[in-house]
Amino acid sequence: MMDKQVIKANPGQWLKLYGDMLYQYALPRVNNTLIAEDLVQETFLSALKGLEGYKGQSSEKNWIFSILKNKIIDHYRKKASGPAITTMPDLQLAAEDWFNDEGRWAGDKAPRDWHEAENPAERKEIQKIINWCKDHLKTVQQHVFILKYMEDLGADEICKVLNISSSNYWVLIHRARLQMRDCVEKYWLKT
């Protein structure tokens, strides 16, 4: 009977192998270079502390990235640890701006056709625009958007992390989607 091969982590190489990738992953999610750097450092420290628990069931890279993902979620959890957000954004303006009395898209607010970015330069440009638009959302909308679309959390988990109600979540994500769509169309789909 063959012994199972023991996979050993190599902490001495982590910074060289994963440092830049972790930073590039964290930065657009927290929008602050110092916080991104701190999260990467905290990730490495947590990985060192948890090294005995690493069994090699996933690659070293995936294991370290999962630690970073949890650090980012904890970052938003700490930011939202104050009192629950109870004020809801006023949707009357959104309804008037985006929809007519029948609930259909108002005039020029109907979505425009987006084409797939075909070349690398165009993909890079759209990514810059999406990040810029995300960075200009209201803070709570930005947090909801990041946790939903960048961290792939479900609605219930986002509500727990941000300490918001389910109805507030749906209002925030709806507004963030509309504003993101409007921003991307304005800056990328220029006519």
- Residue 84 included in any domain: no
Residues 166 and 101 occupy one common structural domain:
yes
Three-state SS for 118-176 is CCHHHHHHHHHHHHHHHHCCCHHHHHHHHHHHHCCCCHHHHHHHHCECHHHHHHHHHHH
Instruction: Report how many domains make up the chain.
Output: 2
CB count within 10 Å of CB 96 equals 11
User: CA 48, CA 33: separation in Å to the nearest integer?
Assistant: 23
Q: Kindly state whether residues 67 and 154 are assigned to the same domain.
A: no
For residue 101, being part of any structural domain is answered with: yes
Q: Which residues pair with 85 in a beta bridge?
A: 164
Does 63 share its domain with 133?
no
Q: pTM for the whole thing?
A: 0.62
Q: Tell me whether residue 62 is exposed, middle or buried, using C-beta atoms within 10 angstroms of its C-beta: 0 to 12, 13 to 18, 19 or more.
A: exposed
> Same structural domain for residues 109 and 46?
no
172 and 101 both lie in a single domain? yes
Domain range for 175: 92-188
Digits of tens for pLDDT over the chain (191 positions)? 444 444 566 788 888 989 999 999 999 999 899 999 999 999 999 998 988 888 778 888 999 999 999 999 999 888 877 554 444 344 444 545 656 666 566 666 655 555 566 777 777 887 888 888 888 899 899 999 999 988 989 999 999 999 999 999 999 999 898 888 888 877 766 54
